[in-house]
Chain A
Amino acid sequence: MKIQNLNVAYNNKVVFNNFNLEILNGQITCILGSSGVGKTTLINHIVSLAKSQGIKVAVSFQEPRLIKHLTVYENLKLIGYNNEQIYEVLESVGLKNHAKNYPNTLSGGEKQRVNFARALLSDSSLLVLDEPFSSLDVKLKIELIKLLLSNAQGKTIVFVTHDIDEALMLSNRIILLKDGAIALDYNVTTNLKDREYGKLNKERQILLDAQLL
Chain B
Amino acid sequence: MIGKNGKNSIIYSAIGLLFVFLLWFLLYFVVANSYIVPSPLLVIKESFYSLLNGEFYAHLLSTVLRVLIALLISLVLGTALSLISHLSKKVESVLIPIISITRSLPVLAVLLIILIIAPRGVAPIIVCILSILPIIYSQTLNYLNTIDLKTKQMLSVYNVPLKKQVIKVYLKGYSPLFVKEITSLFSFSLKLVVSAEILASVYKSIGGDISNASIYSNVTQLFSLTLIVCLIGIAVELIGNLVSNKMEKKYK
Q: How far is the CA of A63 from the CA of B154 in the complex (A)?
A: 11
At the interface, is chain A mostly helix, strand, loop or mixed?
Answer: loop
Query: In the complex where A69-B172, A70-B172 touch, is A104 in contact with B251 (Cβ < 8 A)?
Result: yes
Q: Does B150 contact A (CB under 8 A)?
A: yes
Contact B150 A103, beta carbon cutoff 8 Å = no
CB distance from B153 to the nearest CB of A (A): 8
Q: How far is the CA of A42 from the CA of B160 in the complex (A)?
A: 23
Give the interface residue-count category, chain B.
10 to 19
* Chain A stretch 37-59: residues in CB contact (< 8 A) with chain B: 47, 51, 56-59
* Chain A stretch 64-92: residues in CB contact (< 8 A) with chain B: 65, 67-70, 74, 78-80
Interface residues of B, Cβ cutoff 8 Å to A: 150-151, 153-154, 156-160, 164, 168-169, 172-173, 250-252
Q: Does A197 contact B (CB under 8 A)?
A: no
Most buried by B among A58, A65, A70: A65
Contact B169 A78, beta carbon cutoff 8 Å = yes
Contact B252 A59, beta carbon cutoff 8 Å = no
Beyond A59-B157, A65-B150, A67-B168, 8 additional pairs, beta carbon < 8 A: A58-B158, A65-B153, A69-B172, A69-B250, A74-B168, A78-B164, A79-B158, A104-B252
Interface residues of A, Cβ cutoff 8 Å to B: 47, 51, 56-59, 61, 63, 65, 67-70, 74, 78-80, 102-104, 118, 122
Contact B169 A79, beta carbon cutoff 8 Å = no
Q: How far is the CA of A156 from the CA of B221 in the complex (A)?
A: 78
In this complex, what residue of B is CB-closest to A63? Answer: B150
Q: How far is the CA of A79 from the CA of B157 in the complex (A)?
A: 10
Hey, which chain B residues are within 8 Å of A80, CB to CB? Answer: 158, 160
Hey, which chain A residues are within 8 Å of B151, CB to CB? Answer: 65, 67
Hey, which chain A residues are within 8 Å of B159, CB to CB? Answer: 56
In this complex, what residue of B is CB-closest to A122? Answer: B158
Contact B251 A69, beta carbon cutoff 8 Å = yes
Hey, which chain B residues are within 8 Å of A68, CB to CB? Answer: 173, 251-252
Q: How far is the CA of A103 from the CA of B250 in the complex (A)?
A: 10
